Chain A
Amino acid sequence: MIQFSSVYKSYTRGEYALEGVSLKIDKGDFFFITGHSGAGKTTFLKLITREIKPTKGAIIINGKNISVIPENKIFVFRREVGVIFQDFRLLQDRSVFDNVALSLKIRGLPLKTIKKEVLEVLRWVGIHHKIWKRTRTLSGGEQQRVAIARAIVGKPSIILADEPTGNLDEEISFEIMEMFKKLNTRGATVIIATHDKFLINRYAKNILSLKKGKIENLRVVQ
């Protein structure tokens, strides 16, 4: 469970990117965050991975206040969270395999196991035929699949996606969304930030709307 209690985040003095946000996201939820550009969606997600710390307030994840985890221990928590960015954030000069294997190498798994699991996850996202290609040679949709593979290969319990379909055409967007849906039915908590109304109408059950850092609307269906 992810719990925000009156969370404030300010990058520059006096201005809040998030202002007094409190909410709960249940384990196994399929959760959407929406709002205009600059509303604080990315900030919200970065707080969950503790890429940034809240200026005020507490973020409790699986019973732990993640703000107090020391910097040199935070990696253990981060392995529980898979993150997908709008701009993919792949190493462009490396192969698809290398990019995905990274998540497992850092855990010290033997190369044999890594190969097996990477291949398996690439099959699942449908990009296994390009395993040895450099990511720079892939299309946007293909790169997004690689990014998803990297995020889920370590079997995280929380999956965060920031505008996962922002760069993709409609058909591929739906394929990607179906993947998230499947991951969710397998038990992962999935949180997707998007301002794509179309996707929200089609998939969203629980949804947080932000406006200038404040909660505009919070819809949670039990």
Chain B
Amino acid sequence: MRLFVFKYIMNDTLENFKNQKYVNALSLLTIIFTFFVINIFFFLKVNIGEFTNKFASEYRAEIFLKKDNNNQHDKLINLLKQEPLIKKYVFTDSKQAKELFLKNFPELKQTVEDIGENPFPSSIRVYFKGKNRKKINEFIDKYKQYPAVKEIKTNLLLIDKLKGAQRVVIITGLFFGSILLFTSFFTIVNIIKIVAYSRKEEVSILKMVGASNFYIELPLILNGIILGVVGALISVILFEITLMILPYYLKGFYDFIRPLIGTSNLSAKYYFYLIIIAGFVGGFSSYTSVSKFLRKEE
């Protein structure tokens, strides 16, 4: 195969685009929409995932202590030290708790001062080894009874909710993503069919003068690949622009949700794979179309 063939094939490909610019534009829109929606779902998944990692990657409990019982506190800590279930613990006395709070919310300083007495209890944060819920619950039931303990809070429920949310996003994403991918697939199949039919006469002439299937079919397959790649690329650009301008439109609301939805953008690697997959979908669709509508022989 000589190099010039590729030049002629590229010319044919561009010629097809020019001749069928409206149908091509239409299918491009479908593809952009498809991958835009896929981007949204991946974005949600990544950010919920990040949130989960930040707040709920390991099981832990906050043991809030009753006041002014230093003796009891030390006893409890000694007990915890011997617990095989506990990986590590961090003790925060009420003074530290107050300082930490004021550091995070300096504007509430006055309110805290107004209360007078330090409202923050001392606490011990314990990190569990492993994820055996039964053992963790037994541990909590046991220590709840302990005289120095006021209350124990775990992050088990939070973990469940985040996992549930992530699952919902993944399932709806898969559902809509695959429907849209199928839509794109059929759109490309039909667009290529239209292009192939519009070139029917030329194809029969090409066959007669001895063009290889490669020469005849590659422009159509490239057409599909280009639609996929360009469509995905535009969806990526549109999505990034949306992320950039969204804060300006949602202002207050966005400030509120931003810490909740996390800060991860989709990675370059994700986009790279997205575009590769889009190209593959485009190529596969057009190949399907070509082998269905072009390769007929009596």
Contact = CB atoms under 8 A, between A and B. Distances in A.
A102 B206 contact: yes
Contacts of A3: none
A15 to B, nearest CB: 15
A151 B298 CA distance: 23
A67 to B, nearest CB: 11
A144 interface: no
Given A75-B211, A75-B212, A75-B213, A108 B205 contact: no
Contact of B297 (A71, A105, A109): A71
B208 interface: yes
Interface in A57-82: 71-72, 75-81
Contacts of A105: 4-5, 8
Nearest to A104: B209
B3 interface: yes
Residue of B1, B4, B7 ringed by the most chain A CB atoms within 10 A: B4
A110 B201 CA distance: 25
A85 to B, nearest CB: 9
A51 interface: yes
A106 B212 contact: yes
A154 interface: yes
B210 interface: yes
A81 B297 CA distance: 18
B119 to A, nearest CB: 82
Nearest to B3: A108
B207 A108 contact: no
A53 interface: yes
B202 interface: yes
B202 to A, nearest CB: 6
B295 interface: yes
Contacts, number: 67
Interface in B194-228: 201-202, 204-213, 215
A49 interface: yes
Nearest to B205: A89
A106 B210 contact: yes
A78 B209 contact: yes
Interface string A99-131: 000110111111100000000000000000000
B2 interface: yes
A104 B205 CA distance: 13
B209 A154 contact: yes
A83 B297 contact: no
Nearest to A89: B205
Interface in B1-22: 1-5, 7-8
List 7 A-B pairs, minimum CB-CB distance, nearest first: A108-B2, A79-B210, A78-B210, A108-B5, A106-B211, A103-B209, A105-B8
Interface of B: 1-5, 7-8, 201-202, 204-213, 215, 295, 297-298
